Structure 1
Amino acid sequence: MTGRTPPLGDQQGLWQAVLAAAAGRCQCRGTCGKSHDKDGGRCPAVHGGYGSRHGTGPVRLLAAPADPDGLLLPAHLAAALPKGALAAWCPACHDATRRAAAKARRAAAPPAGSDSLFDL
């Protein structure tokens, strides 16, 4: 697989357009929990390059919702988003941002009521 081979489901070239707009680099600016200060505030992961840890292999960027809350959308809704609502994510930043968004959503949710049949 070459550095710019699109995923199988990219018939309309959406992934390629998102990757081109990102210049082949992860667009995370710290929503993953890392500051990325050493790299000008943006993740240094480049599509086809190698990860920072030994043995991570080549980086394969994803086209996913740019908004962290959008990462929690069901797959069929995320797939229907326009190019402008998508960003290039490395797997590490994507997963960390999705976990942070899920945690924030759980913290903002109202507390669950009592499940008991009878209040004593």
Structure 2
Amino acid sequence: MNGRTPPLGDNGLWAAVLAGAAGRCQCRGTCGKTHDKNGGRCPATHGAYARHGTGPVHLLAAPANPDGLLMPAHRAAALPKRELAAWCPACHDATRHRARAARQSSAPAAGPDALF
């Protein structure tokens, strides 16, 4: 497998998203890291090694909006290219975790049970 092998079931959208991102993760700090050393953008490049001792990075095409990362997979798969971004797995997972935590903290507290 090389750095240009698309995921199974790719209909060309993944390749278009990666081409638009120049093969690089498009995270600009939503994961919690500032990425200061790299102009504010994650340095992870598709097919390259992120750190010594890890395998190559395989970028994902996923919703660009952090809240969109919480939508069901079947809805995310139907999004057009303009609403997608290239994410490395580390930034994707961290951003999704932060979005989920923000949603839970902003959810209204459950009131007393109306039956009792």
TM-score computed with the length of structure 2 as normaliser: 0.96
Sequence identity of aligned pairs in percent?
78
SS of residue in 2 equivalent to 1:50: coil
Which residue in the other structure is 1:70 paired with? 68
Aligned residue pairs total 116
1:76-101 per-position Cα deviation (integer Å, ceiling 9, x unaligned)? 00000000000000000000000000
Which 5+ residue runs of structure 1 have no aligned equivalent?
Answer: none
Q: Equivalents in 2 of 1:113, 1:18: separation in Å?
A: 44
TM-score of the two chains, using structure 1 as the length reference: 0.93
Per-residue deviation, 1:62:
0.2
Radius of gyration: which is bigger?
A: 1
Equivalent residue, structure 2, for 1:106? 104
Q: CA deviation at 1:55?
A: 2.0
Aligned-CA RMSD value: 1.1
Deviations 1:26-81 (A, max 9, x none): 000000000000000000000000013x3221000000000000000000000000
Amino acid at match of 2:2: T
CA distance in 2, matches of 1:116, 1:99: 32
- 1:42 & 1:9 partners in 2: Cα distance? 28
Instruction: Indicate the residue corresponding to 1:91 in structure 2.
Output: 89
Give the drift of 1:9: 1.6
Give the residue type in structure 2 aligned to 1:6. Answer: P
Quote the Cα distance in structure 1 between the aligned partners of 2:55 and 2:28. 22
AA aligned to 1:14 is L
Q: Aligned residue for 2:58?
A: 60
Tell me the distance in 1 between the aligned counterparts of 2:86 and 2:48: 14
